[in-house]
Structure 1
Amino acid sequence: MYPLSGFDGKVAVVTGAGRMRSIGRAIAVELAKAGCAVALTGSGRPREKFPPEEQAAGWRDIESVADEIREFGGQALPVVSDVADPVQVDRLLATVLDAFGRVDIVVNNAAAARGPDRLPVLDLDVKTWDRVLAVNLRGPFLMTRAFGRRMVEQGDGGIFVNISSIGGKLSGAGSAAYSASKAALQSLTSSTAKELGEHGIRVNALCPGVVGTSRLDDVDPASWAEYVRAQVPLRRVGEPADIAAAAVFLASAEAGWVTGQCWNVDGGQLTIR
């Protein structure tokens, strides 16, 4: 199989890329291996909130991912940024342009951590709801608006890959805020693909199923294994690399006629839409 193309001289931005076991880290590393200069963001979470495995490994969030990329000769720019803050998003754009002069690919991966939002709607705190929607939906909107304007100015196209979830299609009980944010992100993907297509800018979303990242550590492995056996035809948890491979494809020249799509990458859990 021939390698994917279209990455030489390109600059990619990946949000939420600082966790050791994460989709964002995998995407940032694979885009760098494909030939992109990569700016990667994290929220600047305090070290005392790192998972035990990250603390034991001496993990340094986006700095560790940047070092990983540099070790194989790639270009990496770590930037602490809150994607839900328009001032910080504009500052991120300026920082990327100062470093690399352009932007070609944006992966909207940053997402609110699982936790207090996983409650019935009647018990859900308004501040929790607002925080989930701020990171999962407002963030991609702000990133798309700021970086999309720059892509239009550049005049030679661009690519957005939004990391949604099959949760936005399943809309399960006890996950209303998360599910609503991811369903809305899919709608944002469709609308912006239709608006930006005339500028050669493609916008797609990936909808992962159960992926083995640190965000799932709040549920015991036996429960996840039982869920996967019952729900996932391929009978295994996905890996961050599975999502990264799909993201890199969507960012490649070979996906040049794909836009406005929300692809399930879930081991076959959803097969009807």
Structure 2
Amino acid sequence: MIKTILAEGRVAVITGAASGIGLAAACRFAEAGMKVVLADLEDPRLEHAAEKVASRAPSGTSAVLAVPTDVSDVTSLQALREDVEARFGAVHLLMNNAGIGPGSSIFGPIQAWERVLATNLGGVINGTRVFGEAMIAHGDPAVIINTGSKQGITTPPGDPAYNVAKAGVKVFTEALQHELRNREGCAVSAHLLIPGFVFTGMTAGSRTDKPDAAWTPEQTVDFMIESLDRGDFYILCPDNDVPRALDEKRILWAAADIVENRPPLSRWHPDYGAAFADYLKRDRPVLG
């Protein structure tokens, strides 16, 4: 189905499109002949991104639209939808990708929690609700891609607000796909993008060179498209350091904390360090 969507004349809307995975996706969709809408906060980077995407589009600037958008604000997304429909018409691909990661702690400033939840989770919910029903109504094949994180599945210590938001994205996207597949005649599907270690502005910190362990945003988008072509819902991306088999073991260990009645986040608990190390040596990911 994805090949019928990544096609000339179809319309893609990407939030968080000024850099990183969002920009790489916008370029890839433009190369396929889609009309591409880049949504991000008002910043010179958004216009620069639009110029880059236009350089990849067969139709140039006529196929690209950049719209300053705050995904935490429903009215801003509604204005985005109106601009898109006026310029290009119906939307066939929505990528709710906008995200921030300022860092957080349980008892740290509430502002960090509010910003992360409003953008990383609220932006996905808002984007889906603003665009989704019209995507269902037009009847053409369409996809909604929500960017999650492995941190929303294994929830490592260190940034609880980010983990909570991304865990919410996972749960929301699962519920969304259940809703879509049970609507008679619905041609829209939802998918959860779960990147590995990707070298982007958000993950770079003070580094200017890509670490060997990281994938590029372009590698991540290529993997995403391959996964969509297979019909995958969970797009679990590896990187140059963590293969899928290791991700599977980490995910299953986290789920087994409940099944085995272990302490939460036992992977990082001193009493379970040896057991986790032994578990990783097993050939197959087995619970317990």
TM range (shorter): 0.7 to 0.9
What does residue 36 of structure 1 align with?
Answer: 34
Larger Cα-atom Rg: 2
Matches within 5 A, 1:1-273: 4-8=3-7, 9-19=9-19, 22-45=20-43, 60-72=44-56, 73-74=58-59, 75-112=63-100, 114-115=101-102, 117-118=103-104, 120-122=105-107, 124-197=108-181, 198=183, 199-218=186-205, 236-249=213-226, 254-255=229-230, 257-258=231-232, 261-267=233-239, 268=243, 269-272=246-249, 273=251
What secondary structure, in the 3-state scheme, does the structure 2 residue paired with 1:205 have?
strand
Question: Shift in Å at residue 32 of structure 1?
Answer: 0.9
Q: In 1, distance between residues paired with 2:227 and 2:118?
A: 25
Give the structure-1-normalised TM-score. 0.80
Number of residue equivalences: 236
- Unaligned 5+ runs, structure 1: 46-59, 226-234
How much identity, in percent, do the aligned residues show?
Answer: 27
Query: Quick one: structure 1 residues 249 and 150, their matched pair in 2 at CA, closer, same or farther if it must change by over 3 Å?
Result: farther
- Are the structure 2 counterparts of residues 4 and 200 from structure 1 closer, same or farther at C-alpha, using a change threshold of 3 Å? closer
Moved over 4 A (4+): 219-222
C-alpha displacement of 1:71: 2.0
Rounded Cα–Cα distance in structure 2 between residues aligned with 1:245 and 1:91? 30
**What SS is found at the alignment partner of 2:248?**
coil
Q: CA deviation at 1:172?
A: 1.5
Task: Give secondary structure in 2 for the equivalent of 1:161.
Answer: strand
Q: So what's the TM-score if we normalise by structure 2?
A: 0.76
CA deviation profile, 1:21-57 (whole Å, cap 9, x unmatched): x111101000111221100111114xxxxxxxxxxxx
CA drift of 1:164 comes to 0.9
Q: Deviation at 1:183?
A: 0.9
Q: Relative contact order, CA 8 A, sep 6+: which one is greater?
A: 1
User: Counterparts of 1:168 and 1:193 in 2: how far apart (Å)?
Assistant: 18
Note the C-alpha offset of 1:79.
Answer: 0.4
What's the Cα RMSD here? 2.2
Q: Which runs of 5+ in 2 are unaligned?
A: 252-288
Spell out, residue by residue over 1:171-214, the C-alpha distance to the aligned partner (whole angstroms, 9 max, x if none): 11121000111111011110000111231211011111211111
- The Cα shift of 1:90 comes to 0.7
Please give the alpha-carbon distance, in whole angstroms, between the structure 1 residues aligned to 2:162 and 2:136: 31
Q: Retained in 2: the 8 A contact 1:14–1:109?
A: yes
Q: Which residue identity is paired with 2:158?
A: G
Give CA-to-partner distance per residue, 1:97-134, whole Å, 9 cap, x none.
0000110100111001x33x23x313x22121011000
